[in-house]
Structure 1
Amino acid sequence: MSTAAMTMAKRVLIIYYSFTQQTRLLVKRFSQGLEQQGVEVVAERLLPVAPYELPFRSVLRLVAVMARTFFRHRDRIEPLSDRCYESYDRIVIAGPTWSYNPSGPVLDFMDRYAEKICGNRDVTVIISARSYWRLNYFSMRKTLLKCGAKVTPPMVFEHPTKEPFRFVGLIMQLTGRMVRKESSWFRRHYPGYGHSREQFALAFEQGVEMGRKITAK
């Protein structure tokens, strides 16, 4: 690629937090879709100073963490790399929904970095959620708009399994108690934790679509 072509390349910064790796996998496929359209992708993973253990040692410990996130507890993150302050054509913020809210690391990012990184930029939010993601998005959108960001419609990926198996499966996964026998009654209703192959394929397609729109400008 020539120097001129590299100079003209569109750039997207993806800032994300992933606890159980579901958001990371969505971001990976989304990034591949962008790159297929010739977009340069820079991915910055948010790293908590004091990360949670996985699996949790007990259900009680998990409940305590869920209560903290319900009240929007911030988990302080490590400083962002210098590349986050460069020029980009689009900013993407991706993360899970925790107890109706953005995760603790994402909340800390929004408090301390959103204005510097997202101010006066086009910003898209990607949400991985079991369910009940709207409060998460509206909270982030409110903060981003205060920063002067232009917020596009969110990309939301809900875990596909039906309730109550989706909730029970989450608890079992996070506490390391998932039923492993594929032929069990529970696994017939809950084939596995997280997003489906179809959703990862959709993330790729949405990356392609965003790439087309950005490169067309």
Structure 2
Amino acid sequence: MAKADGIFSKLRGKVGGVVFYVVDGETYVREYVEEPKVGEPSPIQQLYRNKFGMASHFLRPLKIPIEFGFQAFRKGMRTGLNAAMGHTVRNAFYGGGVDPLQLVPAQVKLSMGPLTGAKNAQVSWADDEHVRFSWENNIGEGSAGHFDQAMLVLYNAEDQRVEYVLEGDFRSAGQQDVKVLRGKEHEGKLHAYISFHHYSSRKKKRTFSDSEYLGLV
């Protein structure tokens, strides 16, 4: 794979023996390789395909918070969603042999990084239309700092409805409410995730903690 410059940056699709395509406004080119015809997949191949399909179905509605939370993993053709998919396929499944294959939401990550995460985080309904995230102010522990902001996500996987706050309150605030339209319809069905992030104006980059799963609310 290589980046296309000049007149080649205007090309799209298959041209001769190469393919041109765009990611984040940049045009890339790779050799076109026709996939060979194969027979039935092996059990391991089929298991991987099943995991990939289930992970894709679960994660795609979460694309916006995932791209935000995995921005440090974006490189060339690799998106944040690609990185999250890889982690989910490797780490967030149970079964597949005797037991039915299951995706485990608690093992899914919406952000990853070295920043210190939330301490004693909890989630509950504040009223019929607001879910409250709360946490202890752990500034000074590990890499936790004054200007770390919360990323809060609520996800009803049944109807693929997502509510999120990407740049939320500071760590010192200790809590924040997230509005949920028609909240009563989603009660008991929302997977809750929390993480923190910090933007360095000197380094021009944002550092995240690993997201934490807080259960269903």
Q: Same fold (TM over 0.5)?
A: no
TM-score normalised to structure 2 length: 0.30
Higher helix share: 1
Name which structure has the greater RCO, CA cutoff 8 Å, separation 6+.
1
Higher strand share: 2
Higher Rg of the two aligned structures = 2
TM-score normalised to structure 1 length: 0.30
